[in-house]
Structure 1
C-alpha cells in the first residue's frame, strides 16, 4: 500500500452485494455501480484515510484475456480525490504492464474532458448507433496508452445481427463504419455484404475473401487457411455439415478461377503482428471462449500494435459487445490482446486450424 498524504490506496475484488451501499456516503451510485456492474474481472480501487474512511472509489473492469483496465465509474468527495483516483488507476495499470487504461463516462461535463486531456487520455471516436440517447450507453470514452500505439482510429459499430461480425470487420477495415453517412445505409451494407459472403449463418474465410475482393477491388486480399477441410462446421449438427462443405468447395473453385490468393501455410501470430505494424488489416477468426466464456466462432479486425517489449499486443476492433457482463463500446474499441492470448483463441475446432484474411491497400482509390 502506498502512503499518500496520510491516505492509502487499496485494490480488492468488487462485491456488488455490499460495496455500492458502503459507498453511498460519497454520492449516489448510478450507472455501472448497481444496474450494469461487470462481475467478471471487476475490481474496486479505493482511497482511504488512516482511520479506514473511504474518500474515493474507482470501479475497474476489463474483458478477459485483454491487456487493459477500464474505469467504469468514479465516486469521490472532491475534485482533488477524483484526480488522485485516476492517477492511482494509471499507476496500477503500469504495475501490471498493461497496454492502456480506458475510461468511460455517463455524463458529459466539460471539466471531465479537461481532466482527461490533462492526464494524457485521448478521446475515442464516438460510436455509430448511439444517437437514441439511451441512458445505458456511456456518453464518452477515452484511452490512455502506456506504451506507444499505432492503430486505425475508427468509429465503433456494433453488429446489428448475431451473425454479421465478418461483414462489420471488413467494413471497419476499409473505414466504412465511419464514412458511411447514415445508419440505415450502414446496416443495409452490413447485411448485403454478409449475404454475399455467408456459408449460412457464418462466413467461411474463402467466401469472405471473395466478397471483399468483389466489393473493394482496389484492396489486395489474401486468404490464409491451413486446412483443406470444411471449416466452421463442428458447431452444427452432423446432418447440416455436408452441404456447407459443398458450398465451401465452390468458394475454393471460384477463388482459383478469379485468382484470389489462398495459401495453406499457417499464419503465425508474429506474422499478424508484423503485418498490422506495416498498416495491413487482418480479419482473424477466433473463438470467444477465452474472452467471453462461450465457444462461438467470431471474426475480429486486427489493425494495430502496442504494448511493452515484454508484453506486446495486437489491437483489435470487436463488433460484439457483451452488455450483460457490463461491457460497452469503450471496451471493444481499440482492444489490446496479448500475442499469446490471440494465438490460443485463434485455434479453431478440433483440428486447431487458423483462418485469416490479410488486407492491404485498403484505402486505395
Structure 2
C-alpha cells in the first residue's frame, strides 16, 4: 500500500508541473526508508529534533520523470570540473551531430580553454555565449546566439579591476571571431517559442541558467536543451552531485515544465538570458 500511495503522489506531482518530490522520514523507521530508497529517493539532509518526541528526520528527494526515459539519442556526458558545464554541453552536441566524436576530459578542458572568460567569481573562469558559439563553430557546428545584454558579461562576479580587464579583453576576442565567422547574434531575451522552434528544427540549445533551482547555488550554469514533449523542455545537466548521491538518472533527459524552465533560464539581478542554438553546419 505504501508503494502505491507513493507512486500516486509522484504521478500527481508530475501532472501538476513539479520537477521534484521531497519528503521527511523518521531515522528510526528503516522499513519506510527502504521503500523510499528502493523507489529512487536520495538522502539530501538530516534534521535533528524534527518530530514532537525529539526524533531525527532524514530528508529525501527524487527527480520526477513520468514515463520519460533516461536514455536518448543525445549522448550524456558528466562534467569532471566545477567550471566546465558549458564545454560539456557543447561536447554532447558535438557527439550528437558528429557520431564519430567521443567526449573525454582532455577535450573538456580544451574547449574550456577556448571559451573561458579566464576569471569568474573566486575561481577559474566559466564560459560565456560568444566563446561557446565560437568553439562550437570551430568544432564544425552551426551556431546562433541569443543574449539579452550588449556588453561584457559576468564582470560583476569579480572585484579586481585587473581581472575585469582580462575578462573584457577575452570577450572582445570572442565577439570579433563570432562576427568573422558570420555567427548570427540576437541581442534580446529568448522566449520559450525560440527554444521550442530550434528543437523542432532538429537543433540542440545551450541555455544559461541559475544553478539555484537545480542545486541551490546562485552561480551561472549551462545545460543542454535536447527535447520538447509539449509540456516540458527536456535537458541534459552535466553537473551530477556525487555528494548528494545523484546519478545520471537525476541529470540526463530531465523534464522541466515550461514555466520552471523559463524561470531558471536567467541569471543575476538583471535577469541575463543567454542561449546558443547548435546544429549541423550544412543546416543553415
Give the TM-score normalised by the residue count of structure 1: 0.60
Query: Which of 1 and 2 has higher RCO (CA within 8 Å, sep 6+)?
Result: 2
What is the CA–CA distance in structure 2 between the aligned matches of 1:363 and 1:60, rounded to whole Å?
Answer: 47
Task: Please list, as runs of the form range in 1=range in 2, the aligned pairs for 1:160-309 lying within 5 A after superposition.
Answer: 160-175=80-95, 180=101, 186-200=104-118, 201-216=125-140, 219-239=141-161, 240-307=163-230
Deviations 1:13-68 (A, max 9, x none): 33151332x459xxxx59947xx93237xxxxxxxxxxxxxxxxxx98334xxxx2
1:17 aligns with 2:27: yes
What is the CA–CA distance in structure 1 between the aligned matches of 2:171 and 2:193, rounded to whole Å?
Answer: 28
What is the CA–CA distance in structure 1 between the aligned matches of 2:282 and 2:86, rounded to whole Å?
Answer: 18
Would the aligned equivalents of 2:74 and 2:226 in 1 still touch at CA under 8 Å? no
What is the CA–CA distance in structure 1 between the aligned matches of 2:193 and 2:76, rounded to whole Å?
Answer: 26
The corresponding residue for 2:42 is 37
**Secondary structure of the equivalent of 2:250?**
helix
Would the aligned equivalents of 1:279 and 1:303 in 2 still touch at CA under 8 Å? no
Task: Please list, as runs of the form range in 1=range in 2, the aligned pairs for 1:11-160 lying within 5 A after superposition.
Answer: 13-15=23-25, 17-20=27-30, 22-23=31-32, 29=34, 32=37, 37-39=42-44, 61-63=61-63, 68-69=64-65, 100-101=66-67, 124-125=70-71, 152-160=72-80
The corresponding residue for 1:319 is 238
**Secondary structure of the equivalent of 2:229?**
strand
Would the aligned equivalents of 1:173 and 1:362 in 2 still touch at CA under 8 Å? no
What is the CA–CA distance in structure 1 between the aligned matches of 2:226 and 2:139, rounded to whole Å?
Answer: 20
Deviations 1:181-204 (A, max 9, x none): 5xxx71111111111111121111
Pairwise CA distance, 1:247: 1.7
What is the CA–CA distance in structure 2 between the aligned matches of 1:363 and 1:256, rounded to whole Å?
Answer: 19
Pairwise CA distance, 1:328: 1.0
What is the CA–CA distance in structure 2 between the aligned matches of 1:363 and 1:336, rounded to whole Å?
Answer: 29
What is the CA–CA distance in structure 1 between the aligned matches of 2:116 and 2:95, rounded to whole Å?
Answer: 21
The corresponding residue for 2:12 is none
**Secondary structure of the equivalent of 1:349?**
coil
What is the CA–CA distance in structure 2 between the aligned matches of 1:242 and 1:195, rounded to whole Å?
Answer: 18
What is the CA–CA distance in structure 1 between the aligned matches of 2:224 and 2:172, rounded to whole Å?
Answer: 25
List runs of 5+ in structure 1 lacking aligned partners.
41-58, 70-99, 103-121, 126-151
The alignment covers a number of residue pairs equal to 245
The corresponding residue for 2:50 is none
Give the TM-score normalised by the residue count of structure 2: 0.75
Pairwise CA distance, 1:243: 2.3
**Secondary structure of the equivalent of 1:255?**
helix
Pairwise CA distance, 1:8: 7.3
1:329 aligns with 2:236: no
Would the aligned equivalents of 1:16 and 1:37 in 2 still touch at CA under 8 Å? no
Would the aligned equivalents of 2:43 and 2:245 in 1 still touch at CA under 8 Å? yes
Would the aligned equivalents of 1:316 and 1:333 in 2 still touch at CA under 8 Å? yes
What is the CA–CA distance in structure 2 between the aligned matches of 1:164 and 1:231, rounded to whole Å?
Answer: 17
Pairwise CA distance, 1:350: 2.3
Cα RMSD between the aligned structures? 3.1
Pairwise CA distance, 1:223: 1.0
Deviations 1:89-136 (A, max 9, x none): xxxxxxxxxxx257xxxxxxxxxxxxxxxxxxx5x44xxxxxxxxxxx
Larger gyration radius, structure 1 or structure 2: 1
What is the CA–CA distance in structure 2 between the aligned matches of 1:169 and 1:31, rounded to whole Å?
Answer: 31
Higher helix share: 2
Pairwise CA distance, 1:330: 0.8
Deviations 1:242-269 (A, max 9, x none): 3212221222122223322222132112
Pairwise CA distance, 1:291: 1.8
